[in-house]
Amino acid sequence: MIAPRLGWWWVAAPVLVLGVGLFLLDQVRLAGYVLAAGLGLAALLRLVLPTARSGGLAVRSRGIDVVTMAALGLALAVITSVLDLRPGR
């Protein structure tokens, strides 16, 4: 059995890994924005690439994939922007 091609997921994956790394380095706000950008990039790639080339980004239909990733990215950006990171509150 031949494993399916993962396609262009590797373009968005390093951005998401960078976001997790920034979180581990205690850069919470920057990490949130980088993760949101990674989700936005994944949504954009899923939107413009044909399904055969989307690989690991293709889970459901194109519309559902794009809306889900874009909504999660937007929600993460909004949540990150309203975080109160001041100590002692």
| Domain spans of the chain, in order of start | 16-81
| DSSP collapsed to 3 states, 32-75 | HHHHHHHHHHHHHHHHHCCHHHHHHHCCCCHHHHHHHHHHHHHH
pLDDT digit string (tens) for the chain, length 89 residues: 454 577 788 888 999 999 999 999 999 999 999 999 999 999 999 999 998 888 888 889 999 999 999 999 999 999 999 998 888 76
The position carrying tokens 């031949």 is 2
Q: Provide the whole-model pTM.
A: 0.88
CB under 8 Å to 31, separation ≥6 — which residues?
19, 20, 21, 22, 23
